[in-house]
Amino acid sequence: MDRNLELIKKAEETHNLNKCEIVQLLQDDTYNEELFRAADRIRTEYVGDEVHLRGLIEFSNICKRNCLYCGLRASNSNVKRYRLEPDEIIELARKAVDYGYKTVVMQSGEDEYYTLDKMTYIIQEIKKLDIALTLSIGEKSFEDYKAYKEAGADRYLIRIETTDKKLYEDMDPGMSHEERIRCLKELRKLGYEVGSGCLVGLPGQTVESLADDIIFFKEIEADMIGIGPFIPNEDTPLKDAKGGDFITSLKVMAITRLLMPDINIPATTAMETLNKNGRMIALQSGANVVMPNVTEGEYRKLYALYPGKICTGDTPSHCRNCITGKIKAIGRAVSTSKGFRRQIEAL
């Protein structure tokens, strides 16, 4: 048997590969289909055929950070800024429940308008709707994370984007790699379901670095991992960069599924920006979550992380119906649960 087929078999059976083995799979495209099929089998075995939908509320595009790859960076004067008031956010969550969502994801730039009091009020009100709540609002203090948890927040998503310390600090001026890791460890300590993830195709990134990312996710025992291609934004310093590609992103995601069989993995929106069937292909290559946007009106266009973002002209209702139809078309069902990770001991 070819060495790479052996590695795919090993990953499927043991959920373990070392860095050199991961690099070998990432570098060789000969057996991509076998890799994707193996990831799909493991997804079926460990998390089943249901797809969890998370309603995404992008409630502020104001950010104090200046990450080189992000359209919301503080120095970008070409984006029209907005923020929703607490009661507007809560109302969008109510509507998400009416659309049938069992989880809401609150995502924003690092906007200091949302004080601890405002955030705890929003969290407490949304939790009255009997749904799971994920926060994706960046680096905060231990005390803030603790208060959010006590108010009812269930999950926290904070992508590391790259575990390569130099690359991280080059891409995120003024930010510290250690601080990002501190956040992930403290969230785990506080009992959150912890989410992270990486960008594939950052300038200067190597396959060795991507292998380190996958190993890092396994080491921190993340509960959810989002993987997507880096898509250059013309309003950022990386506007002329090459960007990531769909297949490499899919491979990183598939290997992550093989090594972390029971976690939740979203089919990310950026995948579909590069391939018109990107999310459905991802769902057939290891993913089990989709995060349709439930933000309304103009705000959908203004949360401009990268160009070509899909569905910005759609209504939340249309998005819900559209994604449900696509999921059914590939023989899967939309979950009616809140979609917490079901940890299963590796066999």
| pLDDT tens, residue by residue, 245-288 | 999 999 999 999 999 999 999 999 999 999 999 999 999 999 99
Look at residue 346 in the predicted model and tell me its pLDDT: 40
Averaged pLDDT, 206-217: 98
Q: Does 234 map to a domain?
A: yes
Poorest-pLDDT segment among 53-67, 307-321, 331-345? 331-345
Q: Does 306 map to a domain?
A: yes
C-beta atoms surrounding 151 within 10 Å? 18
Residue 161 pLDDT level (bands cut at 50, 70, 90): very high
What residues make up the domain containing 29? 3-333
Question: How many Å apart are CA 33 and CA 24, to the nearest integer?
Answer: 15
Q: Tell me the per-residue pLDDT of 2-60, one tens digit each, with 9 for 90 and over.
A: 999 999 999 999 999 999 999 999 999 999 999 999 999 999 999 999 999 999 999 99
Whether residue 26 contacts residue 210, with contact meaning beta carbons closer than 8 Å, is answered with yes
Look at residue 347 in the predicted model and tell me its pLDDT: 34
Whether residue 184 contacts residue 194, with contact meaning beta carbons closer than 8 Å, is answered with yes
Q: What letters, b where the CB count within 10 A reaches 16 and e where it falls short, cover 45-83?
A: ebbeeebbbbbbbbbbbbbebbbbbbbbbeebeebeebb
Question: How many Å apart are CA 229 and CA 307, to the nearest integer?
Answer: 12
Averaged pLDDT, 184-202: 98
Residue 277's CATH number: 3.20.20.70
Averaged pLDDT, 155-181: 98
Averaged pLDDT, 202-207: 98
The one-letter amino acid at 120: T
Q: Does 149 map to a domain?
A: yes
Q: Does 338 map to a domain?
A: no
Q: Quote the percentage of the chain above a pLDDT of 90.
A: 98
Q: Does 59 map to a domain?
A: yes
Look at residue 344 in the predicted model and tell me its pLDDT: 59
Q: Does 24 map to a domain?
A: yes
Averaged pLDDT, 232-242: 98
Look at residue 221 in the predicted model and tell me its pLDDT: 96
Q: What is the mean pLDDT of the chain?
A: 97
The 3-state DSSP class for residue 9 equals helix
Averaged pLDDT, 187-216: 98
Whether residue 195 contacts residue 134, with contact meaning beta carbons closer than 8 Å, is answered with yes
Look at residue 311 in the predicted model and tell me its pLDDT: 92
Give the helix/strand (H/E) hosting 90: helix 86-98
Q: Alpha carbon 88 to chain centroid distance? A: 24
Is the pLDDT at 345 greater than 90? The verdict is: no
Q: What angle do CA 31, 248, 223 make, to 5 degrees?
A: 100
Q: For the chain, how many structural domains are there in total?
A: 1
Look at residue 288 in the predicted model and tell me its pLDDT: 98
Q: Alpha carbon 140 to chain centroid distance? A: 19
Averaged pLDDT, 119-137: 98
Look at residue 342 in the predicted model and tell me its pLDDT: 81
Q: Does 159 map to a domain?
A: yes
